[in-house]
Amino acid sequence: MKKLFLTIAIAVMGFTASNAQTAAQKEKATPAQKAEKSTEKLQKELSLNADQKKKVYAIELEKFQKSESLHKSGTAAKSAMKDQQKAIKKATEAKLDQVLTAEQKTKLDAIYAEKKAKKDKKKAAKA
């Protein structure tokens, strides 16, 4: 019995140590990488043309840079930070609306609605 307990304890410590190493090795994506990924996703979902893709990339890059600087400052209260994030999101959406066609805006609104529904469903499951 003691051997079994000792074996399990050693195995758990080994798994914990290996998991900690892989988590430490993960690097955060830069704002440029995030913007590229986001733009590619929107390109795929909205069928953006080359000019729109450039503009969307610039908008997304600005959004991720502002967001990162907001998180790095970290001095604001959580509610104030949340309000600033909402302001960044609204500004980004307004800029995207200027670049996209009416059909693309409709698709984007549907994507946002779907994301919101998933988020609300996840919140409801936690509560």
User: What is the per-residue pLDDT across 75-113, written as a single tens digit (0 to 9) for each?
Assistant: 667 778 888 899 999 999 999 999 999 999 999 999 989
Handedness of CA 25, 61, 119, 111 (dihedral sign): negative
- pLDDT for residue 24: 47
110 part of a folded domain = no
Mean predicted confidence (pLDDT) in 16-38: 74
70 part of a folded domain = yes
Q: At what angle do helices 31-46 and 50-73 cross, to 10 degrees?
A: 140
User: What is the per-residue pLDDT across 56-74, written as a single tens digit (0 to 9) for each?
Assistant: 999 999 999 998 888 887 7
122 part of a folded domain = no
What's the chain's length in residues? 127
- pLDDT for residue 40: 94
79 part of a folded domain = yes
- pLDDT for residue 16: 72
pTM (two decimals): 0.71
User: What is the per-residue pLDDT across 31-42, written as a single tens digit (0 to 9) for each?
Assistant: 999 999 999 999
95 part of a folded domain = yes
8 part of a folded domain = no
123 part of a folded domain = no
Counting the structural domains of the chain, the total is 1
59 part of a folded domain = yes
- Note down the domain range covering 33: 29-100
